Structures are given as C-alpha cells and as structure tokens.
Amino acid sequence: MTASMPKVAALGECMLELVRRPDGTLTMGFGGDTLNTAVYLARLGAAADYVTALGDDPHSDGMAAAWEAEGVGTGHVLRVPGRVPGLYMIETDDSGERRFLYWRDRAPARDLFVLPESTALIKALEGYDLLYLSGISLAIWGEAGRDVLFPLLDRIRARGGRIAFDTNWRPRLWPDVATARRAYDAMLRRTDIALPGVPDLQGLYGDADAAAALRRVEAAGVPEIVLKLEAPGCVVARDGGYTEVPAERVATVVDTTAAGDSFSAGYLAARLRGESPVEAARAAHRLAAVVIQHRGAIIPSAFTAPVAQAA
C-alpha cells in the first residue's frame, strides 16, 4: 500500500467453499462475505487488507496465499494452532438462486477479538482509514467480540476514520432476534456508510417496505446509505437527497452468490476514488452484473478485468 491510498480493512470470516455442479460433482474454493468484498476491492485497485483468524492447517495456508495472490493484504490474519476454517456448500437452482449448508461452529474467526494476539491487532486497526464489516461478522464474534469491537469503532471514528457496514442478516447465526437487534442498533449508530438490504431489515425488524427500512437506517444517524432493493436496483440517500439507481440488465443469471459482496466492493472502491455516491452505485451495479453471470463467490479475474480497467 502506498501512503497516498486510503487504508481499507475488511473484517470477518472466510470459509472453504464447496460448489455442487449440475452434474453432481463438487469443486472446492473459498469464500465469505467480507472476504469476497476484499478481493473485489483489490481487483478494483483499492489498498485492501483482510482481517480474520485461520488455523495452522494446509487449507488455511492455501487460502492466505490465494488472498495474497489477489493483492489482498494478510498481515493481520491471526493463526490459531490446532484449528481449521469453517466450511460451507453452495447449491443453486435453475434460476441461479442459492442455498447454503454450513459447518463453522469452531471456526477460529469467531475468536478474532479474544485471542492472545488480539490486543496488537486492535491497535493496528485503529490506524485504518476505512473498516468494512457485515452482519455476519457481528454474529460470529458474539457478545464478547462485540464488546471489544464497538469501542474500537468509536476510537477510529473519533480520529477521522470511517466505518462501512453491510447488514447481511442471517438469523441462524444469532441466539435470538432481540440480541441481533441490539447489536445492529449499536452498529448502525457507528456506521458512516451503510449498505443495507430491504429483505435484511424486513427480516430483522419487520419493516413494512423499502421506505420504512430507509427511515430506520436514517434514524440511526447514518450519513450515507445505499439501500439495496428487492427489485434490481438501489436507493442512494445522502445529504437529504434520494436517488434510485437501477441495476445493470443481465440476460442470464447463473449464480447470485456474492452479488451483494461485489456490489459493496464496487461502491466503496468508487467512493475511495472520489466518485459521487450515485456514480459509485452505478459502478457497483456494473461489477455485480458481471459476478452473477458466473459460478462461485469469487469469479476468475479475467471476467472482472474490464470492470477494473474502466474504473
């Protein structure tokens, strides 16, 4: 990373990814919502680090090496002896919609903020210009992790850093809705750029429609909101103005995995380049449109190269 480039850290969990092909065979890769965003950020030219915890097994070694090959920084990836990453399987139907099966209960990423090395990590994170995390990140860290996270975010914002948050609501990761709502409320109060999805907020809070979801995020004091709609498109809300930005047209949707993650990367990368929120939303749609035409969370870089070159 150069001194002139904003320092970005994406925090969360990466897991081994099994994808079931139409012929029934399985292929193995890796993925995780914030990791997917970090990879696409790096492909778009951002100086992005990934912050997580892995094991000391060969699969963990392979994942970290693959991130480095993508240009993602791994200097703050903690390693936990005797542990292995989580695992998930993706199955997609004929329309490209996916179903996930998880094996992640003892994944080391869950302990990111409570390991012996966490104190040094937390200090290092205070020096970043932008931290990006998701509702999945909040869930896996538990109450103990969030008790460390929220004061950290306060310190980062106090010195001028920014926090970006994608709601990514996964009810199975939470002990109950009340706990999740408290965590999301606390997170939104500390968010500078929110990337919520209407279905997320409807599922978590019971918001009646997109307008109600938007009002909820605005009420938390978030200054910049990109509300992802159920119909392809988003609403950008900033400085009291609202602009609906339609999604790119796609003839054939192959796999919607990482659609939202790549959207976040496209948006944040454009904002880091100085583009307006509406321009950034258009850039986000362009990247997501490419990603959903291929299988897997992280598609071959050759397919995203034209988007990166246009950035």
Domain ranges (residues) in the chain: 7-310
pLDDT winner (highest mean) among 79-93, 177-191, 237-251? 177-191
CB atoms within 10 A of CB 278: 17
Q: Strand, helix or coil at 132?
A: strand
The model's confidence at residue 4, banded by pLDDT at 50, 70 and 90, is low
Find tokens 């307006």 and name the residue.
276
pLDDT for position 1: 41
Catalytic residue among 111, 166, 192, 261: 261
Q: Minimal CA–CA distance to 166: which of 268, 76, 246? A: 268
- DSSP H helices, the chain, are 33-43, 58-69, 118-125, 135-158, 177-188, 198-205, 210-219, 259-272, 277-291, 301-310
Q: Strand, helix or coil at 217?
A: helix
The residue length of the chain stands at: 311
What pTM was computed for the model? Answer: 0.92
pLDDT for position 181: 98
> Using one digit for the tens of pLDDT, what is the confidence trace for 218-238?
999 999 999 999 988 999 999
> Using one digit for the tens of pLDDT, what is the confidence trace for 49-99?
999 999 999 999 999 999 999 999 999 999 999 999 999 887 877 776 778
Q: How many CA atoms lie within 13 A of 297 on its CB side?
A: 29
Percent of the chain exceeding pLDDT 90 equals 79
Q: How many CA atoms lie within 13 A of 35 on its CB side?
A: 27
pLDDT for position 241: 94
What fold, for 7-310? UDP-N-acetylmuramoyl-L-alanine:D-glutamate ligase (3.40.1190)
Residue 3, pLDDT > 70, answer no
pLDDT for position 31: 85
Residue 129 annotated as catalytic? no
